[in-house]
Amino acid sequence: MAIDIAKIKADALKGIEASQDSDSLDSIKIKYLGRKSEINVYLKNIKNLDSEERAQLGQETNAVKQEIKKALDQKIKETREKEVSERMTKEKIDITAPGKKIELGSLHPITQALRDTRRIFTSMGFYVVEGPEVEEEFYNFDALNIPKDHPSRDLMDTFWLKNEGEDDSLLLRTHTSPMQIRFMEKHNPPFRIIVPGRVFRHEATDASHEIQFYQVEGLMIDKNVSLAHLKGILTHFLNEFFKKDVEVRFHQSYFPFTEPSVEVFMKLKGKWIEVGGAGMVHPNVFKAVKYIPPGPDSWQGFAFGMGLDRLVMIKHDIDDVRLLYGGDLRFLKQF
Ligand code: DAH
């Protein structure tokens, strides 16, 4: 029943020294200091020895036990610290690891169309200008030769913001044409501009009507500008926009601010589709912006207005305009 206390001590200390992780230190603790360890079993049975021997062996064994405990506690502490710091190092960002993919978004089809439109028209020497969405009645109607009780005001279902019919009235522009007036008030010809922008109509929505949509207005004023130029320019624009050869046809029409007026059609996949209105700028419009009155020296030019949403829908085979404003990702991710 005697134990070799010196050997136990040497083995324990050697084991502690050699241990590299908490798990092996835990098993050393059980082996040398646990309830069933040689030392503890021995100490438990020491009462059977005679008293002189008992005191001495007891002291010796307890001293060894304390020594092992001290060495073990110290090593456990060091090992835990080392393990925690290793774990923290491991969890640091590894800059050599391959990156996580960031999902790329895409431009809204209307944004793409606006960009294409700017690019194509600027390549033909047009300037791009923008106007206010909140507009004065004068610019939206009166200056465009649409007087107060003109029937064509009925065609424009207007969101009135303030005092319809009074001097300080405000509305959401029903078309981009008011920018024709604003631009001509400040600039003398010759010039060519386009005005892309959002317009608003107070009407019930359905597959082909929205309360907001985009137009591209065009205005080119010079000494010798004709509808033939307009046709050439619109044909080039539509060819580039659709990346296909399209045919353009004018059909007689009526707008208060042009004379003569035409509707613009293009032929795509064998079908004639209306894409906008146009015409030669009406003399009353020139009068409103105080250009030289009609005569051999006067300016002339064309104006046009196209519905951009319409072009987008044709280009991408979209059958409901409301999809363009719904923000549904299942729709938008296709572009
Ligand atoms: N402003 C018209 C509309 O919204 C479109 C239009 C027609 C614009 C003829 C023009 C034009 O510049 O000459 O229905």
Q: What is the DSSP string of 41-109?
A: HHHHHGGGS-HHHHHHHHHHHHHHHHHHHHHHHHHHHHHHHHHHHHHHHHHS--TTSPPPPPPP----H
- From 135, 146, 173, 177, the mutation candidate for ligand 1 (largest count of ligand atoms within 8 A of CB) is 177
Q: Which three-class secondary structure state does DSSP give residue 240?
A: helix
- Report pLDDT digits (tens) over 311-335: 999 999 999 999 999 999 999 999 9
Output the six-digit token pair for 284: 């009353």
What pLDDT does 1 receive? 61
Residue 229 CB neighbours (<10 A): 15
Range 219-227 average pLDDT:
96
Question: Nearest C-alpha to atom 5 of ligand 1 is from which residue?
Answer: 305
Q: For residue 123, report the distance from its CA to the centre of ligand 1, in Å.
A: 23
Average pLDDT over residues 277-299: 91
For 265, the enclosing helix (H) or strand (E) is strand 258-268
Q: Is the pLDDT of residue 283 over 90?
A: yes
Global pTM? 0.71
Contact 145, 181 (CB under 8 A): no
% residues pLDDT > 90 (the chain)? 72
Candidate from 153, 304, 309, 311 with most ligand 1 atoms within 8 A of CB, to mutate: 304
Model confidence at 263: pLDDT above 90:
yes
Could you give the dihedral angle defined by the CA atoms of residues 118, 106, 311 and 127, in that order, rounded to the nearest 10 degrees?
-10
Nearest alpha carbon, ligand 1 atom 7: 277
Residue among 288, 306, 277 at smallest CA distance from 139: 288
> pLDDT value at position 211?
95
Which residue of 154, 155, 175 sits with most ligand 1 atoms within 8 Å of its CB, as the best mutation to test the pocket?
175
Closest CA to 179 of 216, 153, 204, 209: 216
CA of 247 to the centre of ligand 1 (A): 20
Cα–Cα dist 84/78, whole Å: 10
Q: For residues 230 and 9, what is the distance between their CA atoms, to the nearest angstrom?
A: 105
Mean model confidence pLDDT for the chain: 92
CB contact at 8 A, 230 and 222: no
Please report the atom of ligand 1 found closest to the CA of residue 175.
4
pLDDT tens digits, one per residue of 45-78: 888 888 788 888 888 899 999 999 999 999 999 9
> Would you say 325 and 198 are in contact if contact means Cβ atoms under 8 Å apart?
no
d(CA 110, CA 169): 30
Percent of all residues in the chain with a pLDDT value above 70, rounded to a whole number: 100
Tens digit of pLDDT for each residue in 110-141? Answer: 999 999 999 999 999 999 999 999 999 999 99
Answer with the residue of higher pLDDT: 6 or 286.
286
Which residues are near ligand 1 (CB < 6 Å)? 175, 177, 217, 255, 258, 277-279, 303-305
Q: Which residue has the higher pLDDT, 214 or 95?
A: 214
In this structure, of 8-17, 161-170, 210-219, 222-231, the range with the lowest mean pLDDT score is 161-170
Half-sphere exposure of 270 (CA within 13 A, CB side): 0
For residue 236, the CA-to-ligand 1 centroid distance in Å is 19
Which residues in 126-151 are b (16+ Cβ under 10 Å) and which e?
beebebeeebbbebbbebbbbeeeee
Predicted confidence at residue 271, as pLDDT, reads: 92
Is the per-residue pLDDT at 291 higher than 70? yes
Q: How confident is the model at residue 99 (pLDDT cuts 50, 70, 90)?
A: confident
CB atoms within 10 A of CB 157: 14
Q: How close is the Cα of 175 to the center of ligand 1, in Å?
A: 7
Three-state SS for 264?
Answer: strand
- Report the alpha-carbon distance of residue 305 to residue 274 in Å, rounded: 11
Give pLDDT, residue 163.
82
- How confident is the model at residue 95, as a pLDDT? 77
- Candidates 54, 61, 72, 62; CA nearest to 4 is 61
